[in-house]
Structure 1
Amino acid sequence: MERILLVEPDYKNKYPPIGLMKIASYHRGKEDYVEFYKGKAPYTMIAKFDRVYVTTLFTFYYEITVETIRHYLNYMHKDNVYVGGISATLLQKKYKKDLKIDNVIARQLTSSSLLGYDDAVNIDDLPLDYDILDDIKYEYPSGDNIFLYTTRGCPRGCEFCAVSKLEPRFKDTNSIINQINATREKYGDKRNILIMDNNVLYSKELDKVVRDLNAVGYINNTPNYIGV
């Protein structure tokens, strides 16, 4: 059993770290111990873990993110520190150069082999682990929602937008009914669904998406009704 520390730098953000929530599901599926920390954990805590995952968000948070990663590199061998997320994708070479580490992962975690494992699990398709949010005191303004994707990517390829680099292929995802029911069964119901798509309106399955949402209780004449 490995001991896994998930880290988000101590910046203000609206949404919880979706990528770390999926990594938590992966490791807990392997019966590893997983803990989430926001900011710089003390050495006495870091020393108890086998590897650290640090998420990144916007590029304008680069300095605080690098400072946070360096903190963990002071106490953990660089081969056991993994960096991923939006900023890491857009500035991958800069992170590697400035931090002198190799484990800076761009785009989505479509295979656990990117983390050095040989079970070839598509981590990006795993359900979110909402329990990690109980490990920290920080309250995300949009934290009390069921988060899901109905599509990934965007076919437009606009020059000003980073989506084509983050999610280069547009596709419909797995059943949202299964996503919602699995979350409700394990973590309880939440008032709202928060769809995290980049361009859901492009989906040819949009009518089905709305019907599926209505079918699981998000129906007309209710506060959380979703329609088109």
Structure 2
Amino acid sequence: MRRKVAVINSSYVGMRPGDRIYNLGAEKIANWHRRADDEVYCGPWAPLMLGDSFPTREASKFYFSAIFTWDIPEMVAAVNTVRCWGKEVEIGGPAATFMHTYVHTQTGVIPHSGLDDRFERVPGEYELTFTSRGCPHGCAFCGVKRVEPTAIEYDDFPLAPMIGDNNITATSWAH
């Protein structure tokens, strides 16, 4: 059965006017559902219409992904709206991992922590790629270990205009 799925990039708007923040996780979730032949909206939150022809309340499932912690309050408000409508919700992204307890207590939804194996290797045409994940250092000020606890070097990865590795200099020389 074809479902309507909304994948919300809660970090869509940047700090400066006109900034648009690319969310690789949201794009991978959207592609995963497109491959299942679901109707998918992927973009910023809008309480009435998602895109030109996708009434928000018609979605049966919502994913929310936040990259930055300063986006959490608006994401929490949107999640609570969707939950009032009785919709299924999943929450993830680096910010949700860093503020796991806060997001859970404010929404009643346990956010996914770290990378989600369902979506990590979904093929697609992306603006960003990762050639590796994780970091061997574990510095006290850095959150990479919480999001990517295991260091991985990918043998094959999709080519994209940007590389998002958190610590590409820690990869092997052969990589």
Q: Which moved more, 1:57-66 or 1:196-205?
A: 57-66
Q: Partner amino acid for 2:122? A: L
Residue equivalent to 1:222: none
Residue equivalent to 1:125: 121
Residue equivalent to 2:44: 38
Report whether the alignment pairs 1:29 with 2:35.
yes
Residue 84 of structure 1: how far off its partner (Å): 0.5
Report whether the alignment pairs 1:197 with 2:165.
yes
Q: Partner amino acid for 1:2? A: R
CA distance, structure 2, for counterparts of residue 91 and residue 2 of structure 1: 30
Q: Provide the secondary structure at the position in 2 that maps to 1:47.
A: helix
Residue 65 of structure 1: how far off its partner (Å): 2.0
Residue equivalent to 1:61: 71
Higher Rg: 1
Q: Provide the secondary structure at the position in 1 that maps to 2:145.
A: helix
CA distance, structure 2, for counterparts of residue 127 and residue 153 of structure 1: 21
Q: Provide the secondary structure at the position in 1 that maps to 2:21.
A: coil
Residue equivalent to 2:82: 72
**Contact map agreement 1:55 1:84 (CA 8 A) in 2:** yes
Report whether the alignment pairs 1:150 with 2:131.
yes
**Contact map agreement 1:151 1:173 (CA 8 A) in 2:** yes
Residue equivalent to 1:15: 21
Residue equivalent to 1:88: 96
CA distance, structure 1, for counterparts of residue 78 and residue 98 of structure 2: 18
TM-score for the superposition, normalised by structure 2: 0.84
Report whether the alignment pairs 1:165 with 2:166.
no
TM-score for the superposition, normalised by structure 1: 0.66
CA distance, structure 2, for counterparts of residue 73 and residue 155 of structure 1: 39
Residue 129 of structure 1: how far off its partner (Å): 5.2
**Cα 1:109–1:148 shift into 2, 3 Å:** same
Q: Partner amino acid for 2:117? A: T
Residue equivalent to 2:112: 105
The Cα offsets for residues 28-69 of structure 1, whole Å up to 9 and x where unpaired, read as 111111112312231781221110001112222222221222
CA distance, structure 2, for counterparts of residue 173 and residue 162 of structure 1: 21
Residue equivalent to 1:215: none
**Cα 1:129–1:84 shift into 2, 3 Å:** farther
Q: Provide the secondary structure at the position in 1 that maps to 2:62.
A: strand
Task: Could you tell me which runs of 5 or more consecutive residues in structure 2 were left unpaired when the two chains were aligned.
Answer: none
Q: Provide the secondary structure at the position in 2 that maps to 1:125.
A: coil
Residue 75 of structure 1: how far off its partner (Å): 2.1
**Contact map agreement 1:6 1:20 (CA 8 A) in 2:** yes
